[in-house]
Amino acid sequence: MPALLGPDIGLSTFVSLDPRYYYFHSETARLQWSHPTGAILTLCAIFIAE
């Protein structure tokens, strides 16, 4: 099971940081978007804790 942990975290990080996977009302909103770092760190901590 630990061997699968790395790819899970990598895929989750990629999806979380890619603005293509988020809905924006306009292209301007997409360009101004920035990802809060704390959210991805929390997600990684949850994966590791499981």
The pLDDT of residue 4 is: 57
Report d(CA 1, CA 4) in Å as an integer: 6
What sign results for the dihedral spanned by CA atoms 7, 13, 18, 19? positive
| pLDDT of 17 strictly over 50 | yes
Write down the domain spans for the chain. Answer: 2-49
pLDDT band at 14 (very low <50, low <70, confident <90, very high): confident
**Residue 32 has what pLDDT?**
82
Reference 50, options 12, 1, 7; nearest CA is 1
Closest CA to 39 of 22, 28, 6, 30: 22
DSSP tag of 26: S
* Nearest in space to 37 (alpha carbons), one of 13, 20, 19: 13
